[in-house]
Amino acid sequence: MLRRAPAVTMNADLVAEPSRRPRPWHRVLYVQVLLAIGLGIVVGALWPAFGKSLKPLGDAFINLVKMLISPIIFCTVVHGIASLGDLRKLGRIGGKTLLYFEIVSTFALLIGLVVVNVVKPGAGFNIDPATLDPGLARTYADPAHTLTAVDFFLNVIPKTFFGAFVTGDLLQVLLVAILVAFAIAGLGERGQPLLHVIEYGSQIFFGVMKLVVKAAPIGAFGAMGFTIGSYGLGALNKLAVLMVSFYAAAILFVVVVLGAIAWFSGFSIFRFIGYIKEELFLVLGTSSSETALPGLIEKMQRLGCARSTVGLVIPTGYSFNLDGTNIYMTMAAVFLAQATNTPLDLKHQLSLLVIAMITSKGASGVTGAGFVTLAATLTAVPSVPLASLALLVGIDRFMSEARALTNLIGNGVATVVISRWENEVTPQQLKQNLMHPPRPAPPGLSPGRS
């Protein structure tokens, strides 16, 4: 069995942030992204046609990031698992991770159901589904029809080895990475050179990502300008109660559920949110949690989490731990039932919860995936008219931001919690690193432990 790769890794605890002059505010990435978001809102509101034309800027940035996601995930997972050296520990971490995901996802679904039943944002709409355009809903429902259990499991297996990297399906990349990791581990000492190649390949892709992220303000400006220019601020007013309820439910979940989990694990959820603020603003500007995935991986390793844990929990969480998407699906489905006067008793809502728990698996962090999984959920709950999806098309872009932000925070917390369970980092180390964030490791070194 392989021993962990020597020399090329270092403990993030040894890379403490020294006192140094702060960077000028205008050079801080999250400030630039925040200003770009504000500028995009102004441009989209005052010049809608020009705002719509900015769509290629946002799309180009997201495509650049997606281009790097697959190789980064592959290298991270392969190196983390192959250098672990103890496959029993791998099984233990995997089991804890899946158990954690299922429990927390259930809480997210339940919070969505409770909030939508208490607030009743769809009551009084009295929408006749026959008056809605079925074509809008069909756009999302058609791909959702393929989300059967058999198709889901078959889709995890790519048609070719490199097919996973071409399609960018994270579950396929994860499967290929796990198989390659076990193959390298089986080579014993002969696999060490391959492990070093994977390590240095990871450094290259992270280096490219750091260059790409510098363009984040441009991408955020284009994405927000297009959103406001296409739908206008008026789209926020029409379904404001649902949007406010959804954002409130997401905040409630983060503060109460994730906050309690963080407290029991020895760290503050608010300090953690401050630690990943750059990634959160990046997600806010692009409405996609995938854009922040590489940064989240690097920061979790700098926080003290073992690389093997980070490499297993975060990629898996992007398919199996989408807390924001879970909240959205239950709230949106019940909202549509309320708006169309479709009766849903407790039995039907619990059935909806179980179905949503299944259909949410495998949804990626890209914009619109939550809408597709909602369509898949409604096809399995025929009592709610599928055509009613048209009610949400105009505001889904705004809702996707809260989904992506909640997903990102949830996966970050999950990684730290699993690391705490494995005694990889102490509460004292977490507190120190969250108060004084470690700086990135010098070139040639990789933060975190294997």
Question: Tokens for 380?
Answer: 């399995």
Using a pLDDT cut of 90, give the percent of the chain over it.
Answer: 14
Using a pLDDT cut of 70, give the percent of the chain over it.
Answer: 77
What is the rounded CA–CA span in Å between residue 385 and residue 129? 7
Lowest mean pLDDT segment, chosen from 28-32, 101-105, 139-143, 173-177: 139-143
pLDDT of residue 262: 94
pLDDT tens across 101-123, in order?
Answer: 989 989 998 999 999 999 888 88
Buried b (16+ CB within 10 A) or exposed e, 226-251: bbbbebeeebeeebebbbebbbebbe
pLDDT of residue 10: 39
Q: What is the dihedral of CA 270, 39, 371, 170, to 10 degrees?
A: -70
pLDDT tens across 13-25, in order?
Answer: 334 444 456 667 6
pLDDT tens across 313-371, in order?
Answer: 888 887 778 888 889 888 888 888 888 888 877 777 887 777 777 666 655 444 455 66
Question: Tokens for 113?
Answer: 């159901």
Lowest mean pLDDT segment, chosen from 60-69, 94-103, 149-158: 149-158
Beta carbons of 292 and 58 less than 8 angstroms apart? no
Question: Tokens for 321?
Answer: 């731990």
Beta carbons of 295 and 277 less than 8 angstroms apart? no
Residues 6+ apart with CB under 8 A from 182: 81, 82
Residues 6+ apart with CB under 8 A from 368: 140, 396, 400
Beta carbons of 194 and 85 less than 8 angstroms apart? no
Q: Using alpha carbons, select from 82, 290, 49, 63 the residue that is nearest to residue 186.
A: 82
Q: Is the pLDDT of residue 134 over 60?
A: no
pLDDT of residue 270: 94
Average pLDDT, the chain: 78
Which top CATH class is 22-435? mainly alpha
Number of CB atoms found within 10 A of residue 299's CB: 25
Task: Give 235's pLDDT tier (boundaries 50, 70, 90).
Answer: low
Task: Give 7's pLDDT tier (boundaries 50, 70, 90).
Answer: very low
Beta carbons of 407 and 281 less than 8 angstroms apart? no
pLDDT of residue 337: 86
- Higher per-residue pLDDT: 387 or 226: 226
pLDDT of residue 360: 65
pLDDT tens across 271-317, in order?
Answer: 999 999 888 988 887 777 777 888 898 899 889 888 888 888 888 88
